[in-house]
Amino acid sequence: MSSSGILSGTPVLEGQYRFKVKITDSSPIPQINYQDLWLYVNANLFEEHFSGSLGQWTIVDDGTETGPSKWNITSGQLVQSSNIWDGISDANQIAKLGTYAYAGDTLWHNYEYILKLRSSDDDGFGVMFRFIDNDNYYRFSMDKQRAYRRLVKK
């Protein structure tokens, strides 16, 4: 815990932890109070190392052209190898539907999202987060061919 009261770090051991907080004011005759608190730690909410199956992931094809999508597991990574899209090539049209894989829990809050993305194609690709359903999510995408990067809230 920092001097400003921020509790941070990376949990490594699950469990319930009781700790005591000492609160002191800055008056000439300081008032001191103690409070017992509990911290509940879930060390690893979600981590995926693909080993032959999709595990917790679900594949959705929203695009209408050249589907269905093709996904493979290669060297522990989930790889999308098809070119499914919505048929709209105008960069000004925001929809840009295609295919996506999702996992997680809609009850998660305040989480850190770390991933590596790469493409061997010049078409659009990206990442979705805070996914609730097909009509509620954020998507960051980029497209070299159509020269855009955008964050979309749907």
Contacts of 54 (CB under 8 A, 6+ apart): 71, 73, 78, 101
Q: Is residue 1 part of a domain?
A: no
Cα dihedral 128, 131, 133, 134, rounded to 10, equals -10
Q: Is residue 94 part of a domain?
A: yes
Higher per-residue pLDDT: 151 or 11: 151
User: pLDDT for 100-145, tens place per residue?
Assistant: 888 877 777 777 777 778 888 888 888 888 888 888 989 898 889 8
Q: Which of 55, 92, 49 is nearest to 74 (CA)?
A: 49
Q: Is residue 10 part of a domain?
A: no
Element containing residue 59 per DSSP (H, E): strand 58-61
Which tokens hold the place of 152?
Answer: 């979309």
Is the confidence at residue 11, as pLDDT, over 70?
Answer: no
User: pLDDT for 19-30, tens place per residue?
Assistant: 888 888 888 888
Domain boundaries, position 83: 58-153
The pTM for the full model equals 0.62
Distance separating alpha carbons of residues 71 and 84, to the nearest angstrom: 11
Residues in the chain: 154
As for how many domains the chain has, the answer is: 1
Q: Is residue 21 part of a domain?
A: no
pLDDT of residue 153: 92
